[in-house]
Structure 1
Amino acid sequence: MSTVDSRGGAPLGPLHGIRVLELGSFIAGPFAGQLLADYGAEVIKIEPPQAGDPMRRWGITQDGESLWWPAIGRNKKSVTIDLRDERGQRLVRELAASCDVVLENFRPGTMARWGLDYETLRGDNPGIIMVHVSGFGQTGPNSSEAGFGSVAEAVGGIRYTTGSPGDRPARTGISLGDSLASLFAVIGTLAALTERSSSGAGQEVDVAIYEAVFALMESTLADYHAGGVLRRRSGSVLAGVAPSNVYPTADDAEVVIAANADSVFTRLAEAMGRPELARDERYATHQGRGARMAELDALISAWTATRKSGELIEQLREHGVPVGRINTAASILTDPHFAAREMILWRRNGNGTELPMNGVVPKFSRTPGEIDRTGPALGADTDAVLSAVADGERLARLRADGVL
Structure 2
Amino acid sequence: MTPTTETPSPARPLAGVRIVEISSFVAVPLAGMTLAQLGAEVTRVDPIGGAADYRRWPVTDGGESIYWAGLNKGKRSVAADMRSEQGQALVQRLIAGSGVLITNVAGRQWHSYDTLREMRPDLIHVEVSGRADGGTGVDYTVNAGVGFPMVTGPAELAAPVNHVLPAWDVSCGIYTALAVVTALRHRDTTGEGQRIAIPLENVALATAGNLGFFTEVMVNGTARERIGNSVYGQYGQDFVSSDGAAFMVVALTGRHFGDLAELTGTTKAVAALAESLNADFTDEGQRYEHREALSGLFGEWFSAHTADEITAALSSSSVLWERYRSFAEAAVAPKVTDNPLFSTLEQPRIGTYLAPGLPISIAGQYPPAVAAPALGDDTAGVLGDWLGLSGEQVDALVRAGTVATGLPL
* TM-score category, normalised to shorter length: 0.7 to 0.9
Indicate how the Cα distance of structure 1 residues 303 and 186 shifts in structure 2: closer, same or farther if over 3 A, else same.
same
Q: Contact 2:128–2:198 (CA<8 Å) still a contact in 1?
A: yes
In structure 2, distance between residues paired with 1:400 and 1:47: 18
1:231 paired with 2:224, answer yes
Q: Structure 1 residues 328, 24: CA separation in 2 closer, same or farther (over 3 Å shift)?
A: same
CA deviations on 1:53-110 (whole Å, 9 max, x unpaired) are 3333111211120122222111010111111111111111111122142010013x22
* Equivalent pair of 1:346/1:357 in contact (CA under 8 Å): yes
Q: CA RMSD in A?
A: 2.5
Decide which of 353, 356, 361 is 1:355's aligned counterpart: 353
What is the DSSP-based 3-state SS (H/G/I as helix, E as strand, rest coil) of the residue aligned with 2:115?
helix
Report the 3-state secondary structure (helix = DSSP H, G, I; strand = E; otherwise coil) of the residue aligned with 1:44: strand
Question: Do the aligned partners of residues 308 and 186 (structure 1) sit closer, same or farther apart at CA in structure 2, a change above 3 Å counting?
Answer: farther
126-135 vs 309-318, greater mean Cα deviation? 309-318
Distance 1:128 1:199 in 2: 13
**Distance in 2, Cα, partners of 1:265 & 1:366:** 34
Q: Deviation per CA, 1:297-321, whole angstroms, max 9, x where unpaired?
A: 1222221223333442332232211
Bigger shift: residues 345-354 or 69-78: 345-354
Aligned residue identity for 2:139: G
- In structure 1, distance between residues paired with 2:23 and 2:346: 25
- Aligned letter for 1:344? F
Q: Contact conserved, 1:133 with 1:206, CA < 8 A, in 2?
A: yes
Partner of 2:139: 149
Paired with 2:355 and 2:365, the residues of 1 have a C-alpha distance of: 21
Cα distance in structure 1, aligned partners of 2:323 and 2:399: 56
Aligned counterpart, 1:263: 255
Q: How far apart in 1 are the matches of 2:9 and 2:17?
A: 18
State how far apart, in whole Å, the 2-side matches of 1:157 and 1:203 are.
33
Q: 1:243-258 maps to which residues of 2 (within 5 A)?
A: 244-258=236-250
Deviation (angstroms), 1:367: 6.8
Deviations 1:180-213 (A, max 9, x none): 2112111222222222221121101211111111
Do the aligned residues in 1 keep the contact of 2:6 with 2:15 (CA within 8 Å)?
no
Equivalence map 1:80-159=2 (5 Å): 80-107=79-106, 109-110=107-108, 112=109, 115-137=110-132, 140=133, 143=134, 145-159=135-149
Equivalent residue, structure 2, for 1:160: 150
Kept in 2, the 8 Å contact 1:132–1:205? The answer is yes
Secondary structure (helix, strand or coil) at the match of 1:132 reads strand
**Quick one: which amino acid aligns to residue 27 of structure 1?**
V
Rate the CA distance shift 1:367–1:191 in 2: closer, same or farther, 3 A: farther
Equivalence for 2:406: none
Q: Deviations over 1:137-194 (max 9, x none)?
A: 3xx3xx1x22122111123333333233333221211222222211211122222222
Work out the CA distance in 2 between the residues paired with 1:269 and 1:367. Answer: 40
CA separation of 1:334 and 1:314: change in aligned 2, threshold 3 A? farther
Distance in 2, Cα, partners of 1:334 & 1:10: 32
Alignment match, 2:65: 66
CA contact (8 A) 2:234 2:251 kept: no
Letter in 1 for 2:72: G
Judged with a 3 Å threshold, the aligned counterparts in structure 2 of structure 1 residues 259 and 189 are, in CA distance, closer, same or farther, namely same
Q: What is the CA-CA distance between 1:260 and the residue it aligns to?
A: 4.7
Give the structure 1 partner of residue 193 of structure 2.
202
Match of 2:315 among 314, 317, 321: 317
The 2-side partners of 1:15 and 1:121 are apart by: 23
Contact 1:278/1:284 (8 A) holds in 2: no
Q: Distance in 2 between matches of 1:70 and 1:310?
A: 37
User: 2:76 is matched with which residue?
Assistant: 77
Q: Distance in 2 between matches of 1:122 and 1:225?
A: 42
**CA 1:6–1:192 in structure 2 vs 1: closer, same or farther (change >3 Å)?**
closer
Q: Deviations over 1:233-275 (max 9, x none)?
A: 3221245533x01111234222111115333211111111222
Identity %: 26
Q: Per-residue deviation at 1:340?
A: 3.8
CA apart distance, 1:279: 2.7
Look up the equivalent residue of 2:189 and give its one-letter code: S
Deviation for aligned residue 1:284: 4.2
Task: Give the paired residue count.
Answer: 387
Does the CA-based 8 Å contact 1:266-1:278 persist in structure 2?
Answer: no
Instruction: Give the counterpart letter for 2:353 in structure 1.
Output: L
Amino acid at match of 1:222: T
Q: Is the 8 A contact 2:19 2:102 kept in 1?
A: yes
Query: Are 2:373 and 1:376 aligned?
Result: yes
Following TM superposition, by how much is the alpha carbon of 1:352 offset from its aligned partner in structure 2, in angstroms?
5.8
| Code of the aligned partner of 1:123 | E
Structure 1: 5+ residue stretches without partners: none
Does structure 2 conserve the Cα–Cα contact (< 8 Å) formed by 1:103 and 1:132? yes
> One-letter code of the match for 1:91?
L
Q: Distance in 2 between matches of 1:265 and 1:276?
A: 13
Letter of the 1:232 partner, please give it.
E
Question: Displacement, 1:29?
Answer: 1.4
1:14 aligns to what? 13
- 1:304/1:70 Cα in 2 relative to 1: closer, same or farther (>3 Å)? same
DSSP-derived class of the 1:356 partner: strand
Amino acid at match of 2:198: V
Residue 189 of structure 1 corresponds to which residue in structure 2?
A: 180
What SS class does the counterpart of residue 21 from structure 2 fall into?
Answer: strand
Distance in 1 (CA, whole Å) between partners of 2:18 and 2:97 is 8
Q: Contact (CA 8 Å) 2:54, 2:68: kept in 1 or not? A: yes
Which residue, 146, 160, 173 being the options, matches 2:164?
173
Partners of 2:77 and 2:293 in 1: CA distance: 57
